[in-house]
Amino acid sequence: MEGGKEKPEQLSAEGASFLEQGIGLLFSRWSALQMAVSDNWGGGDSIMKSQNLAAEVLSWFTHSKEAVLYIDDLEDILDESMISLFNTEIEDNSIEEIAEKLMVMHEECLQGNYNSIQILKDDVPITVNLPHIRQEAAGDDEDEDESEAMVVENPGPRARVDEPKAPEVDEEGWTIVGSRRGGNGRRN
C-alpha cells in the first residue's frame, strides 16, 4: 500500500481472455441488448455499438485504477450505454442481473476459475418469445422523428409471466420511469 491507495488486483492474460469471452457470451444472451441490436435501435451500426459496449466493460475491468470495483458503477455504465447507444431504457432488472454476473465472472477469473464461462460456452441459448419487452414511440404524432424507448417490465420468475402493469404516462405521452435502485449506498 503506497500513498494510502491500494493497487487493484490485475487479471492474468488468460483471465482477461476468458473474461472477454464471458462478456460476449452474456451479452449475446441479454434479451434487451439483443432486441436493440436486431431491431437496429442504435442505427445501422448497432452490432458494432454492442461490440464496443463489450470492449468498454472489459476495459473497465482490466484498466481500472480503482482498488475496488463497485457494481453500482458497472450498472451505471450499462444503463447509460443502453440509453446513449440504443435509446433504450431497461426496467426489468436485467442490468442489475448482468452486472452481478459480470462481477462474479471477474472475481472467478482473478482466481483462475473459468467454470462459469465454460458453462456459458456449453449452454445452448434457447430462443423464446418475450412478451414483457416492447418498443414504444416516445413522442406524439406531431413529433414522429423523436427517439423511441424500450419499456421492459419484470415478468417475475421464468416459470410464469405476470400480466404487465400499465406504465405511468405523463400529459405529453412520455412514460414515467422511477429510480432503478432504491438504496443510497454502494455495493461491491
User: Within a domain: residue 77?
Assistant: yes
What is the pLDDT, as a whole number, of residue 150?
A: 44
Cα separation, 151 vs 174, in Å, equals: 11
What is the pLDDT, as a whole number, of residue 36?
A: 95
What is the pLDDT, as a whole number, of residue 167?
A: 62
The set of residues, in sequence order, having a beta carbon less than 8 Å from that of 35 and lying 6+ positions away, is 41, 130, 133, 135, 150
Tell me how far CA of residue 145 lies from CA of 27, 83, 141, in angstroms.
29, 17, 9
- The position carrying cell 402493469 is 165
User: Within a domain: residue 148?
Assistant: no
Tally the domains of the chain.
1
User: Within a domain: residue 154?
Assistant: no
User: Within a domain: residue 108?
Assistant: yes
User: Within a domain: residue 105?
Assistant: yes
User: Within a domain: residue 94?
Assistant: yes
What is the pLDDT, as a whole number, of residue 178?
A: 56
* Average confidence (pLDDT) per 10 residues, the chain, 188 residues: 58 95 96 95 96 97 90 97 95 96 96 94 66 45 42 39 55 64 49
What is the pLDDT, as a whole number, of residue 165?
A: 54
User: Within a domain: residue 177?
Assistant: no
User: Within a domain: residue 166?
Assistant: no
The model's pTM? 0.65
Which range of residues forms the domain containing residue 86? 13-129
Ordered alpha helix ranges (H), 5-160: 13-29, 31-38, 46-63, 71-86, 94-110, 115-122
What is the pLDDT, as a whole number, of residue 126?
A: 58
